[in-house]
C-alpha cells in the first residue's frame, strides 16, 4: 500500500479530503489492489434500512491480494512467523510463496470435501499456522469462514454452527495453552451431537492426543493434504459477497453473527494497518490477539498480509513458561510493532518489572492497545517499562462490527494522550449524542458514541437476522450507526471511550452479554432468577458479579456457587465465570418489572452510599438487604 500519512498536517489534510469526498478518497485506496473487474459504484447506502454497499459490481478475490499479488517481489519474505507455546519446539517461518502453496492445497482439500461458494465453514482451532491457512483457503474458494474462539464451550460451538448452518467443521485433536491441553476434538464431538448441518470434520494433529474419529464424517488434515495440488485458481467473487461471520455478544439474546463482505473489509483493514502502526516494509509486527476475535482476523491475518508484512503469531500465553514470555519473544524476534490488550498489560504489570528488565526491548518502535479502555496507570507502565518512553502507544478503538480501527492516534504522526483513543481515522465521522439523539459539542460531556457516515468495513448484517441488525445499530439514533459505547471529547476534539452503555460487559477484553450469562445461571435447578453486572477489577478491567435468587437457601453455599460457575463454563466458556455470586431474596425492580441494573452496579462496585434515585422501585427495602450482604 502506498499513501502513508506521515505528519500531523498530512493527517489533517487527508481527513478533510476524506470527509469532503469520501467516495473519491476510498476509490483511491481501492485502486491499489488487484481487481478482476472494477466496481460500478463506490458507495450506496441507507442507514435507515441498514443497507451499505461498497465497490458494488467489483470482482476480486481477497487472497489474491493477500498472497499472489506479493509473489513477484516478496515470495521469500516471511508472511507468518509462528511461535509455539513450548519454547523447545521450533519457530516456523512461512514465506509468501509457501503460504500460497499451503492455501492452494487446502483450497483443493475444501473442494474435495464438497465446499462451494457461499458455504459456511466453522473453524475451531488453536493458534497454529493451519488456522490461517484454513481461513485463507475458505476465502480463496469463496466459502464463508466462521471462526469460533477455541476457549468457547461445546454449547457455544454448537449454537454458532447451527446459527450459520455450517457444513464443515475444521478443528484439531487439541490445543496447547501454557501447561494445559485443551481437548478441542472432544469438545467438537460433543457439539456435533446436535449439529445436523455438519457433513464433514477435518482434524489437524497438533497435540497427538488420542481422539475418536467418526467414520464417514471425520478426516485427518495431514492425510487430506497429501497429494493435494499446489495450484488453485482463486474464485472470482463479488465485492459484496460475504467473507466471514464472527459472533459477538449483544445486550440481549444469543450472540450475533456479524457478517463482513469482501472488498470494503479488504480496503479498510489494509489502510488502517499501514497507517495506524506506520508499518514499514521490513518491520516485524506482532499482534497478540487470538484469531478467534476480530482483532486476530483484521490485524493478525488480513491487514498485515494485504501489506505484505511479517505477522507474528503466538500459540501460547503471556505467563508460560515464565511471566516474561512476551518480553523474551520481543527480544529474540526483534519485534518492532507490538499490539496487545490492556488486560494483558495489567496482568504483567502486576508481576513487577523484574520480568521485563532482563530483556532488551530496543527493537520496539510502536506499541498498541485494543479491546477496552486502558487505565492511566497501565498506560504509563506500558510506556515506561516496555516502550522506554520512546515508543508511541496507539490506543485503537474499534469493534467486531466496524471491521477495522476507527478512532486511534497514528503512531508518531498524530498526538497520543494517555487513556484517549484520540482522533478519528480518515473516512470516519464520529459524533457524541445525548439520549435523545442531539449531538453534543460541549467538551468533556459524556454521551453515546455514534458514526454518521459509512466506512468500507462496516458490518453488513447479522447473519440471518437483518432486523436485529437494524434494530441494534441503526434504530436508536436516526441516520447514525450506534456503537453501544459511551464517549466524551476534550477541547481538542480528542475522544475518550468511557465504556459500554448497554448490557455488554468487557472482561479481559472479551465481550460478554449479561443475558447470556444469566440464562446459563438460570439453568441451575435451584435458581429462579439472576442479574449479572460488572464491577471494577484490577486485572480484568471488569469482573462479573451475579445476584441470584434461589428457590431454597443452599445448605452448602460454596458448592452451589461452584455449580453455577460450572454451568456458565459449559454454556459459554471459562472466561464468563462469575467472580462473585450473591444469593439474594429479591432484585431491585421497577413497577414495570425491569431490573434496575444501575443500582446493582453500584452495590457490586461498593458505591453503596450513592445509589441515586430509588423512588421508582417496587420494593426499596430489597436494596438494603442486598447491600448488607454484599460479597
Name which of 300 and 587 has its Cβ closer to ligand WTA.
300
d(CA 270, CA 299): 9
CA 501 to chain CA centroid, Å, is 19
Q: How far is the CB of 547 from ligand WTA (least distance, A)?
A: 23
Name which of 173 and 485 has its Cβ closer to ligand WTA.
485
Q: Which segment (142-150, 183-191, 394-402, 615-623) binds ligand WTA by CB under 6 A?
A: 394-402
- The single residue listed with the C-alpha cell 516456523 is 92
Q: Which segment (173-181, 224-232, 360-368, 391-399) binds ligand WTA by CB under 6 A?
A: 391-399
Choose which of 506, 512, 572, 581 interacts with ligand WTA (CB under 6 A).
506
Q: How many residues does the chain have?
A: 631
Closest C-alpha among 311, 378, 7 to residue 129: 311
Q: Is the sign of the CA dihedral 303, 308, 309, 314 positive or negative?
A: positive
How many alpha carbons lie under 13 Å from residue 260 in its C-beta half-sphere? 33
Output the residue with the shortest Cβ distance to ligand WTA. 400
Q: Which segment (199-207, 292-300, 384-392, 460-468) binds ligand WTA by CB under 6 A?
A: 292-300
**Size of residue set near ligand WTA by CB under 6 A:** 22
Name which of 130 and 372 has its Cβ closer to ligand WTA.
372
Q: How far is the CB of 477 from ligand WTA (least distance, A)?
A: 15
Binding track, positions 351-380, relative to ligand WTA; x by CB under 6 A:
-------------------xxxx-------
How many alpha carbons lie under 13 Å from residue 238 in its C-beta half-sphere? 11
Does 397 sit near ligand WTA (CB under 6 A)? yes
Q: At 519, give phi and psi (nearest 5°).
A: -70, -30
Name which of 54 and 482 has its Cβ closer to ligand WTA.
482
Choose which of 398, 453, 455, 477 interacts with ligand WTA (CB under 6 A).
398
SS3 assignment, position 558: helix
- The single residue listed with the C-alpha cell 474462539 is 149
Give pairs for 609-618: CB < 8 Å, separation 24+.
Answer: 614/588, 616/590, 616/591, 617/588, 617/589, 617/590, 617/591, 618/589, 618/590, 618/591
Does 511 sit near ligand WTA (CB under 6 A)? yes
Name which of 15 and 420 has its Cβ closer to ligand WTA.
420
d(CA 47, CA 470): 8
d(CA 26, CA 439): 26
Q: Is 377 exposed, middle or buried (0-12, 13-18, 19+ CB in 10 A)?
A: middle
Q: How far is the CB of 407 from ligand WTA (least distance, A)?
A: 8
Q: Please name every residue paired with 213 in a beta bridge, in sequence order, or none if there are none.
A: none
Q: Which segment (120-128, 291-299, 311-319, 473-481) binds ligand WTA by CB under 6 A?
A: 291-299
List, as one string, the DSSP characters of 479-538: TSEEEEEEEEE-TT--EEEEEESSSEEEETTEEEEHHHHHHHHTTSTTEEEEEEEEEEET
Q: How far is the CB of 246 from ligand WTA (least distance, A)?
A: 9
Choose which of 145, 489, 500, 524 interacts with ligand WTA (CB under 6 A).
500
Name which of 385 and 500 has its Cβ closer to ligand WTA.
500
Q: Which segment (53-61, 306-314, 390-398, 435-443) binds ligand WTA by CB under 6 A?
A: 390-398
Choose which of 395, 502, 516, 534 interacts with ligand WTA (CB under 6 A).
395
Question: Residues 439 to 498: which contact ligand WTA by CB under 6 A?
Answer: 483-485, 497
Beta strand spans in 262-361 (E): 284-287, 310-314, 337-340
Does 288 sit near ligand WTA (CB under 6 A)? no
Name which of 183 and 499 has its Cβ closer to ligand WTA.
499
CB of 393 closer than 8 Å to CB of 381: no
Choose which of 195, 269, 399, 550 interacts with ligand WTA (CB under 6 A).
399
Grid cell listed for 412: 508518531
Binding track, positions 293-312, relative to ligand WTA; x by CB under 6 A:
xxx-----------------
Question: Residues 186 to 245: which contact ligand WTA by CB under 6 A?
Answer: none
Beta-sheet pairing, 144-147 with 242-248: parallel
Q: Which segment (73-81, 101-109, 206-214, 395-403) binds ligand WTA by CB under 6 A?
A: 395-403
CA distances from 391 to 294, 295, 380, 483 (A): 25, 21, 12, 29
CA 118 to chain CA centroid, Å, is 23
Question: Residues 241 to 270: which contact ligand WTA by CB under 6 A?
Answer: 248
For the chain, the straight-line distance linking the first and the last C-alpha, in angstroms and rounded, comes to 54
Q: Which segment (69-77, 146-154, 159-167, 392-400) binds ligand WTA by CB under 6 A?
A: 392-400
Closest C-alpha among 125, 293, 145, 85 to residue 205: 125
Name which of 533 and 581 has its Cβ closer to ligand WTA.
533
d(CA 234, CA 618): 62
Question: Residues 420 to 439: which contact ligand WTA by CB under 6 A?
Answer: 421
Name which of 39 and 379 has its Cβ closer to ligand WTA.
379
Name which of 74 and 311 has its Cβ closer to ligand WTA.
311
Name which of 329 and 406 has its Cβ closer to ligand WTA.
406
Q: Beta-carbon neighbour count of residue 555 at 10 Å? A: 7
Name which of 373 and 456 has its Cβ closer to ligand WTA.
373
Q: How far is the CB of 421 from ligand WTA (least distance, A)?
A: 5
Q: Please name every residue paired with 500 in a beta bridge, in sequence order, or none if there are none.
A: 485
Binding site for ligand WTA (CB under 6 A): 248, 293-295, 370-373, 395-400, 421, 483-485, 497, 500, 506, 511
Amino acid at each position: 500500500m502506498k499513501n502513508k500519512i506521515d505528519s500531523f498536517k498530512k493527517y489533517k489534510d487527508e481527513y478533510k479530503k476524506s470527509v469532503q469526498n469520501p467516495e473519491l478518497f476510498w476509490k483511491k485506496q481501492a485502486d491499489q489492489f488487484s481487481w478482476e473487474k472494477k466496481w460500478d459504484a463506490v458507495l450506496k447506502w441507507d442507514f435507515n434500512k441498514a443497507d451499505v454497499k461498497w465497490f458494488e459490481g467489483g470482482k476480486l478475490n481477497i487472497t489474491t491480494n493477500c498472497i499472489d499479488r506479493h509473489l513477484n517481489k516478496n515470495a521469500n519474505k516471511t508472511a507468518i512467523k509462528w511461535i509455539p507455546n513450548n519454547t523447545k519446539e521450533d519457530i516456523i517461518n512461512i514465506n509468501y510463496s509457501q503460504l500460497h502453496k499451503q492455501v492452494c492445497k487446502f483450497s483443493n482439500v475444501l473442494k474435495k470435501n464438497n465446499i462451494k461458494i457461499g458455504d459456511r465453514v466453522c473453524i475451531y482451532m488453536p493458534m497454529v499456522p493451519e488456522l490461517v491457512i484454513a481461513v485463507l483457503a475458505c476465502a480463496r474458494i469463496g466459502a464463508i469462514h466462521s471462526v469460533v474462539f477455541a476457549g468457547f464451550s461445546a454449547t457455544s460451538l454448537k449454537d454458532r454452527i447451527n446459527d450459520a448452518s455450517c457444513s464443515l467443521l475444521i478443528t484439531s485433536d487439541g490445543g496447547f495453552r501454557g501447561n494445559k491441553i485443551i481437548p478441542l476434538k472432544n469438545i467438537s464431538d460433543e457439539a456435533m451431537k446436535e449439529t445436523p448441518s455438519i457433513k464433514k470434520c477435518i482434524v489437524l494433529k497438533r497435540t497427538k492426543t488420542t481422539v475418536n474419529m467418526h467414520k464417514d464424517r471425520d478426516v485427518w488434515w495431514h492425510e487430506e493434504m497429501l497429494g493435494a495440488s499446489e495450484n488453485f485458481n482463486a474464485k472470482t467473487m463479488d465485492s459484496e459477497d460475504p467473507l466471514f461471520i464472527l459472533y459477538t455478544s449483544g445486550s440481549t439474546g444469543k450472540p450475533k453473527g456479524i457478517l463482513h463482505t469482501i472488498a470494503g473489509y479488504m480496503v479498510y483493514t489494509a489502510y488502517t494497518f499501514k497507517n495506524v502502526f506506520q508499518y514499514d516494509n521490513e518491520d516485524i509486527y506482532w499482534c497478540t490477539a487470538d484469531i478467534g476475535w476480530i482483532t486476530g482476523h483484521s490485524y493478525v491475518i488480513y491487514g498485515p498480509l494485504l501489506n505484505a508484512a511479517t505477522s507474528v503469531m503466538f500459540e501460547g500465553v503471556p505467563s508460560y513458561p515464565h511471566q516474561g514470555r512476551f518480553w523474551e519473544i520481543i527480544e529474540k524476534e526483534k519485534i518492532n510493532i507490538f499490539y496487545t490488550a490492556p488486560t494483558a498489560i495489567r496482568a504483567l504489570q502486576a508481576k513487577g518489572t523484574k520480568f521485563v528488565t532482563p530483556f532488551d526491548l530496543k527493537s520496539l518502535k510502536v506499541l498498541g492497545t485494543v479491546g477496552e479502555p486502558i487505565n492511566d496507570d497501565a498506560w504509563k507502565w506500558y510506556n515506561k517499562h516496555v516502550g522506554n518512553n520512546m515508543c508511541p502507544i496507539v490506543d485503537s478503538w474499534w469493534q467486531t462490527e466496524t471491521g477495522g480501527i476507527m478512532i486511534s492516534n497514528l503512531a508518531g504522526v498524530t498526538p497520543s494522550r494517555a487513556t484517549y483513543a484520540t482522533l478519528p481515522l480518515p473516512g470516519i465521522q464520529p459524533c457524541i449524542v445525548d439520549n435523545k439523539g442531539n449531538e453534543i459539542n460541549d467538551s468533556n460531556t459524556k454521551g453515546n458514541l455514534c458514526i454518521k457516515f459509512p466506512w468500507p468495513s462496516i458490518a453488513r448484517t447479522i447473519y440471518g437476522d437483518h432486523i436485529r441488525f437494524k434494530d441494534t445499530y441503526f434504530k436508536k439514533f436516526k441516520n447514525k450507526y450506534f456503537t453501544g459505547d459511551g464517549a466524551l471529547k476534550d477541547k481538542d476534539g480528542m475522544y475518550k471511550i468511557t465504556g459500554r452503555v448497554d448490557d455488554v460487559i468487557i472482561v479481559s477484553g472479551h465481550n460478554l452479554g449479561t443475558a447470556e450469562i444469566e440464562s446459563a445461571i438460570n439453568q441451575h435447578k435451584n435458581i429462579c432468577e439472576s442479574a449479572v453486572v460488572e464491577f471494577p477489577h484490577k486485572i480484568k478491567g471488569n469482573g462479573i458479579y451475579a445476584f441470584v435468587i434461589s428457590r431454597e437457601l443452599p445448605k452448602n453455599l460454596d458448592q452451589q456457587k461452584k455449580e453455577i460457575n460450572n454451568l456458565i463454563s459449559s454454556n459459554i466458556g471459562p472466561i464468563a465465570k462469575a467472580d462473585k455470586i450473591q444469593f439474594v431474596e429479591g432484585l431491585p425492580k421497577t413497577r414495570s418489572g425491569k431490573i434496575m441494573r444501575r443500582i446493582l452496579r453500584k452495590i457490586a462496585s461498593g458505591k453503596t452510599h450513592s445509589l441515586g434515585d430509588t423512588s421508582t422501585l417496587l420494593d426499596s427495602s430489597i436494596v438494603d438487604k442486598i447491600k448488607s450482604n454484599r460479597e
